[in-house]
Amino acid sequence: MTKMFGHLRRRILSLLLLLSGAACMASGSAHFARFFNVSLPYAANEVEQVWQDRQGMVWLITRQGVFTYDGYSTRKITGGSFWTAAALNRDILILGGDDGLRFLDIRSERLCNPLGNVPQTGEVRVVVMSGGVLYAGTKSNGLFSFDTRRRLWQRYMVPGGKDNIIYAIRPVGNGVYIGHLKGLSFMDGRGNIRDTGIHDNVYSIDIDRRRRCLWVGTEHGLLHRSLVDGKTARALSGSTYNHPLVLPDGNLLVASEYGMLVFNPESGSRRTVSHDVSSPLYSLPSNRINSFFRDRLGNIWISTDHGAAFARQADPFEYTRIVDMIRSNEGNTFTNVLETADGEKWLGGENGILHVTRRGCRWFRVGSGLKKNMIRHIYEDRDHDIWIATDASIARYDRQADRFDYFTLTGSDGRNSDWAYALYEDDRRRLWVATYMGGLYVVDKKALLRSGGTYRMLRSPFGKDAELVSTAYRLVPDGSGHLWTYTGKGLVSIDTRSFRVSLRRKMFLDGMTVARGSVWIDVQGRLYRYEMASGRYTDTGFSVDDGMIYAFVNENARVWMSTSEGLFYIDLHDNTVHSSGKPEYRFTAGTYVGADRSICWGGQDVVARQRISDGRNSRDVDVYVTGISVDGRAVGGIVPRFATDIRLGGRKNISIFLSTYDYGNGSSEVLWYRLGDGSRWMPLAAGTNSIALPALPGGACELYVSAGPRSGSVRKYTLWVPYPWYRQWWAWLLYLLSSSSLVYAVFSFYRRRAQQELRERERENAIALTEQKMDFFVEMSHEVKTPLSLIIAPLEKLLSETTNARFRGKLRSIHGNAMRLSDIINRILDFKRMEVEGDDRILDSHVDFVSLVGNCVREFSDRARDRQVSLSFHSSVETLWMDVDIVKIQSVVRNLLSNAAKYVDDRTGRITVSVGTGQGCATVSVADNGPGVPAGELRRIFYKYYKGDSQHDGTGLGLAVARKYVELHGGTIAAENAGGLRVTFSIPVGEAGYGLSGDGSRTGDADGRPTVLVVDDNHDMVDFLKSALNENYRAMVAYSGEEAMEHVAATVPDIIITDQMMPGMDGTELCRRLRHNHATADTPIIMLTAKDDQTTELKSISCGADVFIPKPFNLQKLQLHMVQLLRRKASIVKSAHIVSIAEEGQGRIETVNDDERLMTEIMKAINSNMSSEEFNVSRLCELIGIEQKQLYRKMKLLTGQTPVSFIREQRLKRAAMLLGQGQLTVSEVMYQVGFSSLSYFNKCFTGMYKVSPKEYKGS
């Protein structure tokens, strides 16, 4: 039990020392209470030495290589097994290890050899650089020195020779002390080595200039050797004391077998610091210490066999956990901290209040002197009494009884002070008590103390403003007789003399403090300033994003803020906010202790003491870029901290690592950066040093780094970021080439378009001229064709009637010349069609193809006979009836014959025309024995204007016209060299039959002849047609369109032949009126015209003409067209009659032929057996006496339907009729028409009428 209380007293004493500052050693001395370990790979944990370069980077010399440490992370520079290191100059680090001497360029972080030929030293244990001379102590090869000025190496042997190991070298004056396995030696300036009288193993030497002595660490103690008289004395004995280091305060650090010894030579006091297993993160890594090192900021670095650690020389914080202060595992989050005038500390929070005195510590809470654990405010009045505001009203501490006495205040309205939030005593000894929803109480303190615990305030001094302060959270005096508070209404000031209450600003506040005429206000983590004199309310620009401000502490010319992002202070000289880092704990309350210039902070389960320094006089800290990585890979080729221009290997996922090498700040350090001059400074989170940039634009990017936005030290780095691929030089070259190509293409396009427009204008002019010519030719053709028709038609009639051979020969000659004249006219019109209108329509006529070709051949017989050219015609079939455009086929054959005749010689020429059939086509071949066509030009002969050689005249259009007309018929044309040129074209036969007659059955009126109406303004043409057609037709004549309409009104003809060009009503208008006349709407119309152009033809067809025949015309061709048109009309009438039979049923329509009689029998059978389900096609065939296949063909021909579908359609039509009468149900109708399945009946009926039977009946 005694041991337990002794331990508790020691803990309390530690807290008292912490809070009072008595634990602080002399200025500049480290406390060695906490060590910060440096993380290294496990294999490299054996650290032999720590060294710091001129920038401040710490280098760790280990048995597994050399590492750097920037205060945040370590990085391996080179491998190897090293013992020691020293600086050769500002940029070269000397390394001594198992392989001798090595040199490292710290600017490139690569091994180098600045000394040239370095001797083989063997294993080097210690290197020292002094006065331009390098000293290297080895394991067995003695001492080496190198004079950098003379560039001279020298070697010295120490006592013991190769059996000796040199551990330490310390230059003093003109000589060097050498510590080795055999003792301590001294080498003078001439290289003479002498014994100093110390023969114990010497491991280290340090010079103490203040005491003018050497401290020598040996195997069996620590020796003191005077530099004045050379005497040696033992300072410590009984153990191995090694690596002495003189601290600025005069104390020594010595490595012992038990860890680190802090030794004061004058007083003899010593304190051992060892590895603490209870706090491994903040204790020595190991008790086996290899060396000490003091950096430029006074931090002490310790190298051990299990890593390295350092103790901060000026750690501003000293922490004490509650668990180390009291015998309890319960915690407390402190919300109020108070130091009294006599130095006592009161720490209040959510779980009671701690009272710390020199005698001890007591914890007041529920069950231990408190009614409620929540402490809202701790206040020391003018009599130095302690008052607390709690959730159980207010209480006063009774020192003599060591207890709290509670007081309950009530008002005239029945409210009380149970939830007290703040206390204040004014200069009239009145106590002000702020509550939540209980009002603001002002009571005489003496009267309150005499009340016995209950005090009633009869009247509120605030009158009508009492409600304004019914809830008040803080009472902060401003030193001028005013209290500032924040209430549920906003910011309020109260005059303590007149009790005047002023609502300064309606707002919601989270916290506030008053300093130097301003109220500093926290609103949800954002800091505002309210100036008391002017009432101006401004945003300071400071905010805690996604956090809050916990507490304000006033300290002289600064206001400190504890926030969720760390500590900040407001400099009241210029009202600016500065970061002070991020401590290890969050502080929720604090108080300034002016006696030792510190702040006592309270947080969750911890108390901390922060030593305050004048921030305005502190030095500016430099910030360096210590590393850069792109996409997780370090930027190679440079050491960023020594460069100002840094070229990156990429532009995305860039991490930039910073450091100040101010190892004393650690996790509280806040670093700032900005990208580009003039941009806003951005802080990193306290304790972090990595700038993460997702992406940077290509080119130069300026990076500025600093320890603060207003720091006097700003470093600038230029980051050269590679451009994305689309901004690389080759991309720009590609853009240039593309742009040039585009410009050239645009220029070429506009130039070609201008040329094209010029050609188009020239073509339009040529077309206009050609159209004028064609118009002239068309007009002339009209004048020529009409008389030519009157010549050709009678000639053909005479040829067919004359039996005199001699006379027939002359008539044939006249007829041939007339046809040649017609051919010339047709060629002119063909040229017009090809060049202007594009004759793409086929006007089919059913003709004998063999005769058509033969007639064309006979037209050339006279010309061939005159030139004595052999012209022969052969056909493999006698007749071949086909539907072709007669004019176009004639043009094809004539062009081929004309082309052949052009290239054969007189008297020896031979032209053969053959007609054949095969593969469903009719084939015509025209062969000659001319020179033929070169093989490479065979395909070109069918192009327009191709003329081959220029020896023969021609336009080059004939074969092109032939190819076009053949292709319009769906055929092909080709040429080959076969003893000359052979041109063959093929046209599909279609539905034509071989050997079919061109004579069709006639349809007519009662006397057996159809009626034809001939309309033409030319009387000769009318007389000729009437005479030519009178044998087979009953002809009526009219000489104008108006006269024709009068004839039609009286008698409807079977067919009408009309001229197109007539005065008054022309043929086109006549056709239109005939088609709008019900009587002649279906009457066939043939248009005869000398105006043979496509526009006229299309116009005639669109107005209703069935056949368009240009003049001069072939009479036989005209008669064939008439027969076909009358036959087609009769077929239509017949089909309509059959359909009428099918629609009306038998017995109602008179039948006139076998097909109609058959249809009548079919309808009779269907109607008689419709209600029978067994009635089908087989039964129908039995009833009418016809085979099933023959019935199928007939039905398909007459109705377009199969017998099955026809029977079903008749059933459904009968069903629709019965449903429409509405007398039968759907089921009854179904059985009436022979259906047995209702679903099938519905399906069939819906498919035909698009509605169900039920819906049809309802409609």
* Cα separation, 122 vs 203, whole angstroms: 19
3-state secondary structure of 710: coil
**Per-residue pLDDT tens over the stretch 567-598:** 899 999 999 988 887 888 899 999 999 888 89
Both 1130 and 1252 in a single domain? Answer: no
What pLDDT is stored for residue 108 in this prediction? Answer: 92
Instruction: Count up the domains in the chain and report the number.
Output: 5
Between 504 and 801, the more confident residue is 504
825, 891 Cβ separation under 8 angstroms: no
CATH number for the domain that contains residue 205? 2.130.10.10
What is the spatial distance between Cα 693 and Cα 682, in angstroms, rounded to a whole number? 12
The better pLDDT of the pair 1079, 201 is held by: 201
Per residue in 745-755, pLDDT (tens digit) is 999 999 999 99
Handedness of CA 1174, 1177, 1178, 1179 (dihedral sign): positive
Residue among 91, 84, 88 at smallest CA distance from 105: 91
Average pLDDT of the chain, as a whole number: 84
pLDDT category of residue 1141 using cuts at 50, 70 and 90: low
Q: How confident is the model over 936-959, as pLDDT tens digits?
A: 778 778 876 566 654 555 556 678
pLDDT of residue 540: 93
- How confident is the model over 766-788, as a mean pLDDT? 72
**pLDDT band for position 996 (cuts 50, 70, 90):** very low
State the pLDDT confidence band at 612, using cuts at 50, 70 and 90. Answer: confident
Q: What proportion of the chain, given as a percentage, has pLDDT over 90?
A: 40
Q: Tell me the residue ranges of DSSP E strands in 821-920.
A: 845-848, 870-875, 881-884, 910-918
For 1003, other C-beta atoms within 10 Å of its C-beta total 19
Are the CB atoms for 543 and 537 separated by under 8 Å? no
> Does any domain span residue 854?
no
Cβ atoms of 448 and 387 within 8 Å: the answer is no
End position of a domain, from candidates 582, 607, 632: 607
The model's pLDDT over 74-107, given as tens digits with 9 standing for 90+, comes to 999 999 999 999 999 999 999 999 999 999 999 9
Token pair for 1256: 């049809």
In which region does residue 449 sit, left (phi positive, over 0), alpha (psi from -120 to 50) or beta (all else)? alpha
Work out the angle between the directed axes of helices 1203-1221 and 1188-1199 (0-180°, nearest 10).
60
Per-residue pLDDT at 221: 93
pLDDT at 1000: 34
User: What pLDDT score was predicted for residue 832?
Assistant: 55
**Least confident piece of the model among 309-313, 958-962, 1055-1059, 1135-1139:** 1135-1139
Position 28 scores a pLDDT of 39
- The 8-class DSSP code of residue 282 comes to G
For residues 69 and 97, state if they share a domain: yes
pLDDT-above-70 percentage for the chain: 89
Q: Which of 143-147, 267-271, 461-465, 1066-1070 reaches the highest mean pLDDT?
A: 143-147
Judge whether 828 lies within some domain. no
Q: What is the pLDDT of residue 146?
A: 95
Q: Where are the alpha helices (H) located in 873-932, listed in sequence order?
A: 886-903
Residue 1066 located in a structural domain: yes
pLDDT band at 22 (very low <50, low <70, confident <90, very high): very low
The residue out of 262, 286, 317 marking a domain boundary is 317
Q: Are 982 and 975 in contact (CB under 8 A)?
A: yes
In this structure, the answer to whether residues 599 and 643 fall within a common structural domain is no
Average pLDDT over residues 22-33: 47
Does residue 301 surpass a pLDDT of 90? yes
Residue 26 predicted with pLDDT over 50: no
Mean pLDDT, range 227-254, rounded to an integer: 91
Query: 159 preceded by cis ω (within 30°)?
Result: no
Residue by residue, DSSP assigns 576-590 as EEEE----SS-EEEE
Mind listing the pLDDT tens digit for each residue in 397-455?
A: 999 999 999 999 998 888 888 999 999 999 999 999 999 999 999 999 999 999 989 99
| Residue 679 scores a pLDDT above 50 | yes
Domain membership flag for residue 301? yes
CATH code, 663: 2.60.40.10
* Structural domain includes residue 834: no
pLDDT at 833: 55
Q: Are residues 543 and 652 in the same domain?
A: no
Q: Is the pLDDT of residue 1145 over 70?
A: no
Give the C-alpha separation, 835 to 827, whole Å: 12
Q: Which of 826, 902, 828, 892 is nearest to 864 (CA)?
A: 902
**pLDDT tops 90 at residue 1229:** no
| pLDDT for residue 513 | 96
> Which among 124, 135, 132, 133 is positioned nearest to 95, based on CA atoms?
124
Count of CB atoms within 10 A of residue 1258's CB? 10
Taking residues 1146-1151, what's their average pLDDT? 45
**Residues 139 and 239 occupy one common structural domain:** yes
**What Rg, from alpha-carbon coordinates, does the chain have?**
62
Q: Cα torsion for 1209, 1211, 1212, 1215, to the nearest 10°? A: 160
Do the domain assignments include residue 417? no
* 212-219 average pLDDT score: 94
Q: Please give the pLDDT value at position 1148.
A: 45
- The CATH number for 1211's domain is 1.10.10.60
863, burial (CB in 10 Å: exposed 0-12, middle 13-18, buried 19+): middle
Let me know whether 211 and 267 are in one domain.
yes
- Between 1154-1168 and 1203-1221, two packed helices, what is the crossing angle to 10 degrees? 60
Could you tell me if 189 and 174 are in contact, meaning their C-beta atoms sit under 8 angstroms apart? Answer: yes
CA dist., res. 419 & res. 414, Å (int): 14
| Residue 1120 included in any domain | yes
Q: Find the angle CA(540)-CA(546)-CA(551) to the nearest 5 degrees.
A: 60
pLDDT (average), residues 861-873: 87
- Residue 951: the pLDDT is 57
Q: What are the backbone angles phi and psi of residue 144, rounded to the nearest 5°?
A: -115, 145
241: Cβ–Cβ under 8 A, 6 or more apart, which residues? Answer: 217, 218, 221, 222, 254, 255, 256, 261
Residues 166 and 272 in one domain: yes
Domain termination site, one of 317, 346, 375: 317
Of 652-661, 766-775, 832-841, 995-1004, the range with the lowest mean pLDDT is 995-1004
* Cβ atoms 363, 8 nearer than 8 A: no
Inside any domain, residue 431: no
What local confidence, expressed as pLDDT, does residue 946 receive?
Answer: 67
Q: What pLDDT sits at residue 843?
A: 66
Same domain membership, residue 653 and residue 711 = yes
Say whether pLDDT at 1057 is over 90.
yes
Give the pLDDT band of residue 458 (cuts 50, 70, 90): confident
How far apart are alpha carbons 491 and 484 in whole angstroms? 8
- Check whether residue 81 and residue 203 sit in a common domain: yes
Same structural domain for residues 63 and 127? yes
Q: Are residues 1181 and 1130 in the same domain?
A: no
Average pLDDT over residues 1089-1095: 70
- Go through 392-426 and write b for each residue having 16 or more CB atoms within 10 A of its CB, e for each that does not: bbbbbbeeeeeebebbbbbbeeebbbbbbbbbbbb
**pLDDT number for residue 472:** 93
Got the DSSP string for 1009-1068? --EEEEE-S-HHHHHHHHHHHTTTSEEEEESSHHHHHHHHHH---SEEEEES--SSS-HH
pLDDT at residue 1112 tops 80 = no
Q: How far from 1069 is each of 1015, 1076, 1091, CA to CA, in Å?
A: 13, 11, 16
* Domain span including residue 641: 624-727
Of 1087 and 840, the one with more pLDDT: 1087
20 pLDDT higher than 50? no
Dist. CA 1087–CA 1109, nearest whole Å: 6
In this prediction, residues 307-328 reach a mean pLDDT of 81
Same domain, 1080 and 1174: no
For residues 670 and 566, the answer to whether their CB atoms sit within 8 Å is yes
